[in-house]
Copies of this chain bind each other. A is one copy, B any other.
């Protein structure tokens, strides 16, 4: 009898060795708990699992924005448009909802057909207008690529950039593990640069420069830098000067800049400046100097006040890329045909929401601001709770959807973790999940400086009861291992 062809020892080693903590052991265990609760299991010490491991707003009861979803319903079943009066009278659809659905249908023909692999031309034109209005610089729809969420865009870019196993990409630590996982799959180097925890996880160009030098000494061909701005975890926004520093470094070291700007509207403090805008300003001010800085910037419908993760929509823009390289990027994405067309339509709605004076504007603004204020309030409540906990230090939230506190565990807890065969932060997070049903991600999943321990939690879950659960668990945990 033959044995199975594929075993853990003979599959693609890059796949086997890639790490992806956001949906790792903890998330699987949380899923099991949820299933048990759904089946009526009463033996758990909680009655609900809270998935604070992932920025998934609608799973935690954030309501979708009405305008977006009304338009999408019409795109799915255009026959509804034949009865405008009934739509308005019975369901409260406004004229701008109906008009937008008609415009989008003209652009896509139908959401059931493959689109152009780069995305529907009319939608790319709308995205181009949005970027022009945001930044004040021209945008060519030919340089825009609609994607199935930012993740798929990152995958495309890294596939093209990483030529071989000596290629390296600078990635901030802590980071979203998509970057390290994708680099591992491509057998390329993650060149880490550490964010400054003491400065709300800000970017320090000196730290980046040191990382580049160290990588070069190791023979790594450093090709690109990933900047997450506003940052994940805390949403710190880079100032125009910070961005210039990164772009100067890109000129000096000849690096492609990947600007992950999916949190551009999740900003509580300061103001978002895009890399595209800053690059445009510098190109004007210093003719020639920045003309070959290749910039790829990403955006998504999953974050912000849109929070439509399940629709898998996003885009990236390429600036200053060699047309031949851009053609290769097009070929690469065309193998997967096209991103979800309804997801593309949602990108259009995100970048072109109702304007002042339009019938849906008032409700849209109310919903949008309600979500924004709610996020800020929850972030503050969670931050305040962390400040009171023993052995926990947390940076002030500035945006995004996460907090990333440091924890200092008692020596007995470290020993207990060791004898359980777990990393200490993992051990803490598993204990938290077992006791409270709250799923967070250990800092080791994102990277953390040697000798420090963290965990990442979203502040998306409604209410504050769950925050109290964390506080209570934490006290008991410290009591136990004191």
- Specify which chain B residues have a CB less than 8 angstroms from the CB of A86 in the assembled complex: 86, 90-91
Q: Is the CB of A311 within 8 A of B111?
A: yes
Which residue of chain B is the closest to A310 with respect to CB atoms?
B341
Q: Which interface residue of A35, A307, A337 has the most chain B CB atoms within 10 A?
A: A337
- Specify which chain B residues have a CB less than 8 angstroms from the CB of A182 in the assembled complex: 335
Q: Mask for A86-98, Cβ within 8 A of B = 1, else 0?
A: 1000110000000
Docked Cα-Cα span, A254 to B5, in Å, equals 6
- Specify which chain B residues have a CB less than 8 angstroms from the CB of A56 in the assembled complex: 113-114
Known: A12-B163, A335-B18. A80 touches B91 (CB 8 A): yes
A160 on interface, CB distance cutoff 8 Å: yes
A162 on interface, CB distance cutoff 8 Å: yes
Q: Mask for A216-228, Cβ within 8 A of B = 1, else 0?
A: 0000000110000
Q: Is the CB of B309 within 8 A of A12?
A: no
Docked Cα-Cα span, A289 to B311, in Å, equals 44
- Specify which chain B residues have a CB less than 8 angstroms from the CB of A113 in the assembled complex: 56-59, 309-310
Known: A8-B328, A73-B77. A292 touches B322 (CB 8 A): no
Q: Is the CB of B340 within 8 A of A110?
A: no
Shortest C-beta distance, A110 to chain B (Å), equals: 5
Shortest C-beta distance, A77 to chain B (Å), equals: 4
Q: Mask for A309-322, Cβ within 8 A of B = 1, else 0?
A: 11110000000111
Q: Is the CB of B12 within 8 A of A162?
A: yes
Which residue of chain B is the closest to A77 with respect to CB atoms?
B73
- Specify which chain B residues have a CB less than 8 angstroms from the CB of A18 in the assembled complex: 331-332, 335
Known: A1-B291, A11-B325, A77-B73. A160 touches B310 (CB 8 A): no
A256 on interface, CB distance cutoff 8 Å: yes
Which residue of chain B is the closest to A322 with respect to CB atoms?
B4
Task: List residues of A (295-327) whose CB comes within 8 Å of B's CBs.
Answer: 302, 307-312, 320-322, 324-325
Q: Is the CB of A163 within 8 A of B1?
A: no
Q: Which of B24, B112, B307 contacts A311 (CB 8 A)?
A: B112
Which residue of chain B is the closest to A331 with respect to CB atoms?
B20
Looking at A115-123, A263-271, A354-362, the stretch in contact with chain B turns out to be: A115-123
- Specify which chain B residues have a CB less than 8 angstroms from the CB of A351 in the assembled complex: none
Q: Which of B117, B254, B339 contacts A312 (CB 8 A)?
A: B339
Looking at A64-72, A376-384, A385-393, A434-442, the stretch in contact with chain B turns out to be: A64-72
Which residue of chain B is the closest to A72 with respect to CB atoms?
B76
Looking at A41-49, A145-153, A193-201, A412-420, the stretch in contact with chain B turns out to be: A145-153
Docked Cα-Cα span, A2 to B23, in Å, equals 41
Known: A73-B74, A331-B18. A59 touches B3 (CB 8 A): no
Docked Cα-Cα span, A251 to B289, in Å, equals 62
Q: Is the CB of B114 within 8 A of A54?
A: yes
A288 on interface, CB distance cutoff 8 Å: yes
Q: Is the CB of A23 within 8 A of B117?
A: yes
Shortest C-beta distance, A262 to chain B (Å), equals: 13
Give the oligomeric copy count.
Answer: 2
Docked Cα-Cα span, A262 to B74, in Å, equals 28
Known: A6-B321, A121-B35. A336 touches B73 (CB 8 A): no
Docked Cα-Cα span, A77 to B310, in Å, equals 14
Shortest C-beta distance, A446 to chain B (Å), equals: 14
Known: A91-B80, A310-B112, A340-B343. A148 touches B151 (CB 8 A): no
Docked Cα-Cα span, A112 to B306, in Å, equals 9
16 additional A-B pairs beyond A5-B224, A15-B331, A23-B334, beta carbons within 8 Å, are: A4-B325, A5-B255, A5-B256, A8-B322, A12-B186, A23-B117, A54-B337, A69-B77, A73-B77, A76-B342, A79-B91, A83-B90, A83-B91, A152-B336, A178-B335, A311-B340
Pull 27 A–B residue pairs with CB atoms less than 8 Å apart, ordered by A. Answer: A4-B320, A4-B322, A4-B325, A6-B161, A7-B322, A8-B328, A11-B161, A11-B325, A11-B328, A35-B121, A58-B110, A66-B79, A73-B76, A76-B76, A83-B90, A86-B90, A108-B310, A110-B310, A111-B311, A112-B309, A112-B310, A114-B310, A182-B335, A312-B312, A340-B340, A340-B342, A342-B342
Residues of chain A whose beta carbon lies under 8 Å from any beta carbon of chain B: 1-8, 10-13, 15-16, 18, 20, 22-24, 31, 35, 54, 56-59, 64, 66, 69-70, 72-77, 79-80, 83, 86, 90-91, 108-117, 121, 148-149, 151-152, 155, 159-164, 178, 181-182, 185-186, 223-224, 251, 254-256, 288-289, 291-292, 294, 302, 307-312, 320-322, 324-325, 328, 331-332, 334-343
Q: Which 8 A-B residue pairs are closest in the complex by CB-CB distance?
A: A310-B341, A86-B90, A73-B77, A23-B334, A59-B113, A58-B112, A72-B76, A58-B113
